[in-house]
Structure 1
Amino acid sequence: MKEKTIKKHVAERPHVVFLIADDHRGEAIGAFGTEDVQTPVLDSLVSSGTACRNTHIFGALTGAVCAPSRACVHTGIPLFRATIGKDMTNREHSSVIRSDVRLMPQTMRDAGYHSHAVGKWHNDKASLARSFEGGDKLHFHGMSDHTQVPVYDYDPTGLYPKEQEYMEHTFSTELFTNAAVNFIEDYEEKQPFFLYVAYTAPHDPRTAPEPYASMYEKSDITLPPNFMREHPFDTGDMVVRDEKLAGWPRDEDEIRQHMADYYAMISHLDTQIGRVIEALKTKGIYDNTLIVYTADHGLAVGQHGLMGKQNLYEHSVRIPLIFHGPGVPQGKQVHALASNIDIFPTVAGLCEVDLPVETEGISLHPIFSGDSVGERGIVGSVYRDLQRMVTDGRWKLIRYYRSPITFTGTERIQLFDLQDDPWETQDLSAEPQYAEHIERLASELAAWMHASSDILQDKPVIPVPV
């Protein structure tokens, strides 16, 4: 595979700490001003780094959005070309990354970085084995109780047989942070490191330890403007596991408690991230470390009458993305459109590491400095054979299908003006004056689906609005 000559000497490159959470929606950070949640550590990273506020996940072909979304982050490639299991008729999990695709940690390792993994790896074991030369407390499941975490020690053979798995009872966020801190404290190599830390928080069960469990009173929680007791129509996955975490119709007090528990998990995670940062400072390498914080997807937690991430509303497809360190402007919140396939190219760009030729995402680094050349005009997202979305940053079209496999879902569209209605409460698709936006976005969606090798591309994009 032909690549450009590496420009910067390995020893001069920054270390990288890549932090990824599970279920952390894009707005649930105090510095962004729209949530009650307390996140002083992440707020500090925002104030002294750059936050990409309009980053969307590419999507998933199953209800377990975590694995395919992480595959997109790891590879910088659209879901349909990054994974095995892209045929929706066989109900594949889309967790296995193609063996001929190079991943972000693999690329960093090949460029001279010491790659080390901690925590959740919801993709195949072979992709981890070719990416990391070390690791600790490796979790190959989608979730677990936070005080009963099945993990592996790093296996240089890459096999990870079941009999080597063991149970840890330290709270997951602290368990993974302990492993990350130990790695930083013990690191003595001359080459820079790429430390990948994947948390299972704030994913349910939302059982934060004290004092965080008591930090938020449900009576103090403000319900979002798009809270609904019931979603107005069948999205196609109305009884998936996540949706069963609260009763139907949604009760205001119950949702407030879910939100309080969700915020408690995030605040606890924030404190643990602070421990990683302190370890970098104590080691004397904080100023020469690129810190990246993101999540695999968002979460509804009562918005639109939904609980999970199996939908294409902003609360579920928009994720936090924060960069901090060498080459990153301070105190910027960028609103240019981005996809999670752009994360890998941005990390590589900041470290002056050349990308594999098959990578399709774009580096956001030039956009940090105000260069609009190469900005995305639209981003899209997929969910199973049930939903497709496209947005140009202001106008957003969601296309719903009725699945020929499960016979669930609704043939219809929604149109939102995100500038005037960021909570997506007013569907404008039936208003004649907005027909031109529907037609334009429908064309953009069809082109995006075709370019992404979406297997639904041959289906009509515009149904009759309901």
Structure 2
Amino acid sequence: MSLGAGLSHPNILFVIVDDHRTDAIGALGHATVKTPVLDGLVRRGTTFTRATIQGSLMPAVCAPSRACLLTGNGVFRADAEPKLDPGPVFEVQLPVDACTLPERLRAAGYETFVTGKWHNDLPALLRSFEQGREIFHGGMCDHTAVPVRDLEEIRRGKPARVGDGFSSEIFCGAAEKFVRERARDRPFFAWVALTSPHDPRTPPAEFRARYDAAQIPLPKNFRPDHGFDNGELEVRDEQLAPRPLSPDVMREHLADYYGMISHHDACIGRVLAVLRETGQEENTLVVYVSDHGLALGSHGLLGKQNLYEPSVRVPLIIAGPSVPAARRCEALMHPLDLYATLCELAGVTAPAGLDSRSFVAAMADNAGGRESVGAVYMDFQRMISDGRWKLIVYRVGGGERVQLFDLVGDPDECQDLAAEPSQATRVVELRAQLQAWQVATGDRWFGEIGSVTA
């Protein structure tokens, strides 16, 4: 199939970052972090305020989350062999019969390009993209010593080389070059995957200097410790600061984190500038999403290996042709819904049988969202939320613990209502919803909800 460049088939610049909390964007109400480029996308596009990942069966939440985005399927279908022990690589092998989003667009005539982090298997990478520069195959690395290869070097089995510069500059620079030099005889899909703001959080000095750690407020739900064993208090991410968590130490972590975000915000801005300079902005959809969030002191945790809102909710913005401007869409959704949404916006038919749903109509009227969203972590945490009420179930050490939060009255999840007699019926109802979600998604790792007495 051949597609000519034109408004009916927009270009798609898909930017995915690593560890960005949903609240850490200035235009969405954060008083400290400086994100002028993302603020501009919020103003000219639609922000999905309740985008919730489906979680992970492994500590490296990024790999399955990206697999869900790529395949348009849930966490148990996006992995060819879901398992609790992925081995030392921590990558997810996509099913060989899964048609990835770039693969579908490529078959429809799109020019496909990739740069940045690829945390899934190489065969899926090679079948999805025609072109690629400065690709990092892995989970995390030093931002000033990134091992990268171009797509052709990967095809030929060449060893990685150290990229020239800081990670976000390397990857966004490759995207700039692609956008500037492409032939423009057909629409493009560019997957630009940044490793920022993942640790090691070492922003360039200019961007770190924008934040005085002593003046940075802590999250409202900051705690020095978690308060109980959630099953994953010893994971690597939870060892990045001494225990109990010190307010002063956490402010330094937040200053580094915000510096990373401000830096990659500026790098993305340079890619958008090239779109404008080359006359391609009008016909380009820009997508910004994170693979997951991060605790960073919330609930006494540091990492993403939990099911609280700072970790499972992600920023998700779409801006460009046919997208309502300055819109906040509150419909419940998973980021994997981007697959069907982008196919509809691109005028391309999505493959049958996907878990992904199109949210094009929801961008206009908030209708058509999911009735609930669920998420998993390993084989000992499960979550379900209907948008207001949220239940988290823990299975640790042979027992079970339940938390219930009112996300409307208590968006920071500070007050656990599970033990309140007035909420007993609600807990039972949410347990039933969670069990139904398990059945629908094929979750066989947690057992029957309610089989252990709280």
**Where on the TM-score scale, by shorter chain, does this alignment land: which range?**
over 0.9
What is the deviation of 1:251? 0.4
Q: Deviations over 1:151-207 (max 9, x none)?
A: 011128x6463x421111400000111100001110113101101100000001111
* AA in 2 matched with 1:382: V
Contact 2:289 2:317 in 1 (8 A): yes
* Match runs of 1:242-261 below 5 Å: 242-261=237-256
**Contact 1:8–1:352 under 8 Å retained in 2:** no
**Alpha-carbon distance in 1 for matches of 2:450, 2:321:** 44
- The 5 A counterparts of 1:214-233 are 214-233=209-228
Q: Do 1:295 and 1:319's aligned partners in 2 also have CA atoms closer than 8 Å?
A: yes
Distance 1:160 1:82, change over 3 A: farther
SS at match of 1:388: strand
What does residue 404 of structure 2 align with?
Answer: 415
Q: Secondary structure at the match of 2:82?
A: coil
- Partner residue in 2 for 1:173: 168
Report the Cα distance in structure 2 between the residues aligned to 1:145 and 1:376, rounded to whole angstroms: 38
CA apart distance, 1:79: 1.3
Render the CA deviation track for 1:382-408: whole Å, top value 9, x for unaligned.
Answer: 111010100000000001112xxxxx5
Using the alignment, how far apart are the partners of 2:148 and 2:341 within structure 1?
30
Q: CA deviation at 1:210?
A: 2.2
Measured in 1, the distance between the counterparts of 2:32 and 2:300 equals: 20
Indicate whether 1:399 and 2:393 are aligned. yes
Distance 1:86 1:36, change over 3 A: same
CA distance in 2 between partners of 1:125 and 1:277 (Å): 28
Tell me the alpha carbon deviations over residues 219-256 of structure 1, each in whole angstroms, 9 at most, x when there is no partner.
Answer: 11111111000101111110111001011000010001
Decide whether aligned partners of structure 1 residues 437 and 195 sit closer, same or farther in structure 2, where only a CA change above 3 A counts: same
2:444 aligned to 455, 459, 466, which one? 455
Q: Which residue of 2 aligns with 1:56?
A: 52
| Equivalent-residue separation in structure 2 for 1:164 and 1:423 (angstroms) | 46
Measured in 1, the distance between the counterparts of 2:205 and 2:312 equals 30
Q: Which residue in the other structure is 1:344 paired with?
A: 339
Between the aligned residues of both structures, percent identity stands at 45
Whether 1:387 and 2:352 are equivalent positions in the alignment is no
Q: Secondary structure at the match of 1:18?
A: strand
Q: Distance between the aligned counterparts of 1:286 and 1:169, measured in 2?
A: 28
- 2:41 matched to 1:41? no
TM-score using structure 1 length: 0.94
The correspondence of residues 135-284 of structure 1 with structure 2, limited to 5 A, is 135-155=132-152, 159=155, 161=157, 163-284=158-279
1:310 aligns with 2:305: yes
Give the Cα–Cα distance (whole angstroms) in 2 for the partners of residues 290 and 396 of structure 1.
33
CA RMSD of aligned residues (A): 1.8
Amino acid aligned to 2:66: R
Residue 69 in structure 1 maps to residue 58 in structure 2: no
- What 5-or-longer segments of structure 1 have no aligned partner? 1-5, 403-407
**Alpha-carbon deviation of 1:437?**
1.3
Question: How far apart are the structure 1 equivalents of 2:438 and 2:330?
Answer: 23
CA offsets 1:334-366 (integer angstroms, 9 cap, x no match) = 111111221111111111111111311111111
Cα distance between partner residues in 2 of 1:106 and 1:36? 39
Seen in structure 2, the aligned counterparts of structure 1 residues 94 and 112 have a Cα distance that, compared at 3 Å, is same
C-alpha distance in structure 1 between counterparts of 2:146 and 2:206, whole Å: 21
C-alpha distance in 2, partners of 1:302/1:27? 14
How far apart are the structure 2 equivalents of 1:74 and 1:239? 30
| 1:412 partner letter | R
Structure 2 unaligned blocks of 5 or more:
none
Deviations 1:49-85, CA, capped at 9 Å, x for gaps: 1000100001111100110000001011011111123
Q: Does 1:297 align with 2:286?
A: no
Q: State the match for 2:114 in structure 1.
A: 117
Matched, 1:95 2:92: yes
**Match for residue 105 of structure 1?**
102
- Pairs aligned (count): 452
Q: Aligned-pair distance for 1:95?
A: 0.7
Residue deviations 1:276-321 (CA, integer Å, cap 9, x gap): 1100000001011000000100000111110000000000000000
Take 1:461 and 1:391, find their aligned partners in 2: how far apart are those partners?
17
d(CA) in 2 for partners of 1:352, 1:151: 33
In the other structure, the counterpart of 1:377 is 371
Partners of 1:159 and 1:8 in 2: how far apart?
26
**Aligned-pair distance for 1:34?**
3.4
Question: What is the DSSP-based 3-state SS (H/G/I as helix, E as strand, rest coil) of the residue aligned with 2:391?
Answer: strand
Q: Does 1:354 align with 2:334?
A: no
Cα deviation digits, residues 371-424 of structure 1 (max 9, x gap): 62x32110000111010100000000001112xxxxx58521100001111100
| SS of residue paired to 1:57 | coil
- d(CA) in 1 for partners of 2:91, 2:5: 34
In the alignment, which residue of structure 2 is the partner of 1:430? 419
2:27 matched residue in structure 1:
31
Q: State how far apart, in whole Å, the 2-side matches of 1:308 and 1:16 are.
A: 31
Letter of the structure 2 residue corresponding to residue 20 of structure 1 = I
Secondary structure at 1:74 match in 2: helix
In the other structure, the counterpart of 1:405 is none
Aligned counterpart, 1:286 = 281
- Distance (Å, rounded) in 2 between the aligned partners of 1:341 and 1:265: 25
Take 1:135 and 1:8, find their aligned partners in 2: how far apart are those partners? 21
Find the aligned partners of 2:132 and 2:187 in 1 and give their Cα distance. 16
On the 8 A contact 1:88/1:384 being kept in 2, the answer is yes
- Give the 3-state SS of the residue equivalent to 1:194 in structure 2: strand
Q: Write the distance in 2 (CA, Å) between the matches of 1:255 and 1:61.
A: 28
Q: Distance in 1 between matches of 2:54 and 2:453?
A: 26
